[in-house]
Amino acid sequence: MRFKRGFAGGVCAALAIGWAGAAAAVTTEGHDIPYVGAGYVYEIPDSARDSDNGQGFQLQFGWPLSEYGHQNLSAEVTVHSLKRDRDLDGKSDYQTGLLLDLVYDFGQQGFGNFGGGYQFKPFVLGGFGVVQNDVLGDRHEHFGLNVGGGVLLPLGWNGLAARVEARALGQFDDQSTDKNFLLDYRFTAGLQLPLFFLFNEPAHEVSAPQECELAVVDPVTGRSDCGVDSDRDGVLDGADLCPGTAAGTPVDGHGCPVTGDTPATPGDEDGDGVPDEVDQCPSTRRGLSVDASGCMVAQSLTMSGVQFDNNTAILTDEARKLLDEVAATLKNQGGVNVQIVGNTDNVGDRAYNLMLSQERAESVRQYLIARGIDGSRLVATGHGPFYPVASNDTAEGRAKNRRVEFKLIVE
């Protein structure tokens, strides 16, 4: 397979321009940073080419555009090179392309146990570029149009994903054949990896910024508030009746640790810190972060009480009680969707743990559906042992890693 020297120089220049000008592509969830990808290409050429199907490779470089206010939209620089055996004499023709595409993804999707517990992200793309054809030893360049789509399958390690896609490439080429316009089809399977070693992961704000005369910026999280939240429990120090609460502890609207048995506060029955007379979302489960109207904001919640019978996906009685509270909250706030994430420690086979975490997340999903929550609002994901929050070297750390997380997404 040949990659022409002059064309390679143009490719390098275009990659440099793409780097400086913020070019990019679809990314795995939570990794909105530049990435690279590579894959095997199988081509079905235009019937006018009189050649066998082509084979080759494809390289990608990308840069998400979400930081510029274009959610789900990315830009991408793609280089492909392939060869085809001619029907005439069995020798080879070659094609190399440089394409600039915009990519639109449809967000994280999933259907129960799809893909052994992996979620997926479908996308479409379109763009233009330059295509160089080397046919019967005659090399020439032409303008090309490129459209297609595919799916990204996260593999659970630092944003690594499998990428499968199909593209149609049209070229205004009157030199390769007797036709003026040729249409080739390419199918690619490969891997995509965020450049986490070169770029920092983006910080995600949990709540909307507040307007105030003097904002205080948290030096650790970067969050800007109209006051200080020293223990980072979501309750500002001025209203926190229980300062110094341990990280991750569910608290009520006054910043104090809560359990399902915590008595109601007169005038604030759900204990979210918002008086009943202005609370637009009553019966919110204690410990959830809410806005000024008492309705949940986007957040992640770990419920240590959601446990299962040993080595099974069967919920314990205590877990069912906690999930009854979650169901009551979700019934009261129809605009909130939930990603249910199951996690395990690292004891045992990784593949088995991944399967078990998916089954447990799905068990929670099915229980909430049985309690009247629309299944379209719930997505179950198994992460297995790949996202620990504590060391697996101790029994205490392993217990913390065996958890179910609820990622609340507010529409």
| Average confidence score pLDDT of the chain | 77
What is the distance between the alpha carbons of residues 187 and 355, in angstroms, rounded to a whole number? 30
What is the distance between the alpha carbons of residues 123 and 295, in angstroms, rounded to a whole number? 32
Q: Which of 216-220, 364-368, 390-394 has the highest mean pLDDT?
A: 364-368
What is the distance between the alpha carbons of residues 188 and 22, in angstroms, rounded to a whole number? 24
- By percentage, how much of the chain surpasses pLDDT 90? 25
What is the distance between the alpha carbons of residues 148 and 166, in angstroms, rounded to a whole number? 6
Residue 8 has a pLDDT of 40
Tokens at 130, concatenated = 């330059």
- Given a cut of 80, is residue 10 above it in pLDDT? no
- Kindly give the pairing relationship between strand 54-64 and strand 35-44: antiparallel
Cβ count near 352 (within 10 Å): 12
Could you give the 3-state DSSP secondary structure of residue 13?
A: helix
What is the distance between the alpha carbons of residues 233 and 248, in angstroms, rounded to a whole number? 7
Tokens at 395, concatenated = 């029994």
Confirm if 56 and 80 have CB atoms less than 8 A apart.
yes
Give the tens place of pLDDT for each residue, 46-91.
988 888 999 999 999 988 887 777 778 889 999 999 999 988 888 8
Mean pLDDT (whole number) for 291-309 = 78
- Given a cut of 60, is residue 215 above it in pLDDT? no
Handedness of CA 207, 212, 215, 216 (dihedral sign): negative
Confirm if 136 and 50 have CB atoms less than 8 A apart.
no
User: Model-level pTM?
Assistant: 0.47
- Three-state helix/strand/coil letters over 341-382: EEECCCCCCHHHHHHHHHHHHHHHHHHHHHCCCCHHHEEEEE
- Kindly give the pairing relationship between strand 336-343 and strand 378-384: parallel
Residue 166 has a pLDDT of 96
What is the distance between the alpha carbons of residues 172 and 278, in angstroms, rounded to a whole number? 64
Confirm if 233 and 216 have CB atoms less than 8 A apart.
no
Give the tens place of pLDDT for each residue, 126-175.
999 999 998 888 899 999 999 999 999 888 777 788 999 999 999 988 88
Segment among 89-103, 203-217, 329-343 with least mean pLDDT: 203-217
